Structure 1
Amino acid sequence: MRYKVLLIDDEPGALEGMMLWIDWERLGFEICGTSGNGADGLSKIKELKPDLVVTDIHMPLMDGLEMIGAWQKDGDRSVMFVIVSGYSEFEYARRAMRYGINHFLLKPIEEEVAEKELETVYRELCREHEKRSINLIAAHEKTVCLLKKAAMDEPLSEGDLDALQRLSAAKAAWNFCLVQCDPPAYARMRETAAALLREREAMYLIDIDTHSFGIVYGYAPFRGAEDEAFRILERLSEACASSRVFMATGMETGTLMELGRCCKTAKEAVLFNFYDTAYGRIRTYDSVKDQTFRYHYDQVRLIDRMTGALNVLDAPGFAEAVASAGQSFRNEWVEPEIVKKFVIHLMYQMMDYWKELGTEQSESLLEACRPLPFGMSDAVIHHDDLMDSLLACGRGTIELLAREQAQKSQGIIQEINEYIRAHFREPLTIRKLSEVFFLHPVYLGQLLIRKNGIGFNELIHDLRIEEAAALLKQGKLKNSEIAESVGYANYGQFLKHFEKRMGMSPNEFKTKT
């Protein structure tokens, strides 16, 4: 580490000698400026902020000791001083000790002696810097702990309240920015925020929950977006745009005594990010304070539409039901946690279907439907992402159920056709057949069409007319008796289907055969 040095002497030759004879860079220093008297030197200390001042004692306008005394009385930072004096000025040197000065260089300056003394000064500066750093870190951590207590509305002692009031005086206005992160993004986002806030005035990072943190920031209200605090928050927002991160600021306050209200209103505002279309944008409490969520909606109708589509393996119908539900939630501003519970409820219903598929198939469905919303009460997810997840899971469920039923049906389709041939004379319906074979009526009807090329009803009438034709050839029964024996309670219905399939009436058929 290099420390800045200011050289002060009223003799130009002495200044030039110190600059040339001493290898300042090798010793860990860099000369930031020079001065010819104490008054100007005092001004240069304020302007250049040196770590070390090497000064002559006897100078016009203000001598070195007067300058040191003035700085130690009114200066705003710690500075180390080295006195340059001659043997005749030893009394000045003794006075310097009263100011805590214990490093001296005698004129004429000898390079070797000066470098040895400056090496000692460098080590002391390093120790002081480390000590200051530790103290600053400790003070910062103490401030952060105090701000967290205030933000969380925890009890504050009188000392805490006094400290908050002193801290409040640094800025005219204060607020709280809540940053909620998806677990994989949390560490990176917190590190980014910490880097942006490092050594920033009146900006503090505090940890809230497992994957949330907050930024307490002070600013000048009249400067608005031009204030540095807002620029820092905007840079953090830009860094969060590619990750699942929600950000929101609370209600502005003029004192840190009301930081709890800032935090609470930021938590209220961040909920509205659920219906946003992107991540990383900062939601302000002022933009949503007049907006309210709804807690009631037509849950039964929405669930019935989706489960109905699932039951009949209707993927387009399920997609339409999800889209309708999503639009309803958005239009009515349904409270986010209620929407999440709605989706979770449907997910668990679908899990009941998965249990019939076996472990391997269930795992493949779970993988295909990520990100799943189970346990997502603290997760960062948009409304659209949530509905997309529900849609993907529903489609996967329908696809796997259809595949499973298709596999099962291949082994029993012959059995189903044999059952139909044995019972076509009875008042057999597709619903009754589905109950016998434990298949959904719609799916069973589609399966029979794929296997036989015709629908269930057409197959029944074909079998009945086929048998009726055989009985007519035997000539033992009346037409009405044949119609009844093959399953027609109404002769007119029998006649219609016979003529349709045979191209003639039963009597014409008997005459020709």
Structure 2
Amino acid sequence: MYKVLLVDDEMFVRKGLLNLIDWEALGYEICGEADNGEEALALMDECQPDLVVTDIRMPVLDGLGLIAAVVNQRQWNPAFIIVSGYHDFKYAQQALRYGVNDYILKPIDEEELTATLRKLASVLGMRKLATLAGGSHVTASIMEALLHGSCQERDISQYAAAIGLPQESRFVYVLAELHPAVPDQAPEWSAKDVVCALQPLADRSDSRIPMYEQSPGMYGVLLDLRRLAAEQGDLSAMSVYQSLRWALSKVKDAAVTLYVGQTVNRLQDVKESYQSANEALSYEFAEDGRDIILIDDVRGTPLYYFDMAQELYASLLEQLEENDEKAYTASIDKLFAVFREQRFAPNAVTNAITRCVIGVINIIRKMDGDENELQSLPAMLDWQSRHVRLEGLRQLMTAFAAEAAGLILRLRGEQAKGGIEKIRKYIEANYRENLNLKSIASIFYMNPVYLGQLFRKTYGVYFNDFLLGLRVKEAKQLLRQTDLRMYEIAEKVGFANADYFVTQFEKLEHMTPTDYRNKLRGRTGKP
């Protein structure tokens, strides 16, 4: 992703830019916003943007002043796009003098800005190209022509001389994927790390090795196999790949996978090697466990592009809801075994993982929970950018499942507590009716035995004792405040039989209802 800094003194313009363009789909991410040029300069070190989109007329320091400051200080080298409401030739002329990439008038046309960003992405990508001979940069236009096959045959000799490679040899484009040491962390690699790792190989063979950062953690290198293999005294290409992988793995002491394109004999055919290396990348999970994947070995072998089995998906979610750790761990292991055995393509793996994550999120939301409580969720949503192997992804998935199962269990407890509170309030409001555990369980769609256990666990008293306590409490009030007969009081507090009422009252109060009333009147004995 290329980092973008938005600079405009009008907040609604910045927010409009944020929402107008699907930045991520175009390969960009917004790294910061500034109200004016001075604020933007203060953010440059922190953000280190690849692109600055700025207005011209702003307070404190305007857009042209910002561009001039960046150009003159030479600490940063971002591309610039000016977005202005002023169609002033002098501004445009000055902007072009500073090397601004484009000048777009407000109101912003979405298609125009999108086209500009797509075109600029190619330029920004070429800026990341480097060569290892004395640290000089490979000319962007040359590498772009080679990788995209737009170079003319008459210009090849000049291109070859410029990048220090022969016109004809055994060339191969190799993608190096650098895996994190810990699955839930993004790879901490930089282009400088890769350059340092490749330097000894370049020095020993007196060869330049152009390097291209395709994405964070994914680097492409253009190798002259003939020269590199001859230097090692081994003419096999595999020895070169093994040396390359070993050198890269030592930088951060982490795993590296190489995806090797087809070998070409002419520099102008490098596009074919570049495309086939990216084709080899589509076998990263099907060939999981291999450190070096050659397109010549895997091309034509089948890949699975469909969804995971519905039965496995449904079972996994059910086991998570039941908090059956042994079962859901086994299901996850089975899912990843299927990925390997059926040779899932990257898109198919992505779809399966996304489906499971969304399923878990839906369960949590239905229980009135917040999935953002899951600390493992960001890693699961962003696992592709972490460049994990299948085993690392399995570890992420298992950790996510365990945390999700714990959250679901907690939410169920909270729901149960909320539900039992409703039941208690219902009993308190309706104890005068003919209530029993079975009838209440039926009203609230619960198992009577489970309801009884839950009630006692929550309130420390059996359901029948709680109900009796409410009825006797009400009966005592009626005995104190009215002259109602015993059978009338019994009916009012929920007893169908007056004798049973007397028995239950005496059980709780250790005296009959009549004795209780007489005691209040200062008399003893029966009336």
Larger radius of gyration: 1
Q: Structure 2-normalised TM-score?
A: 0.48
Structure holding more helix per residue: 1
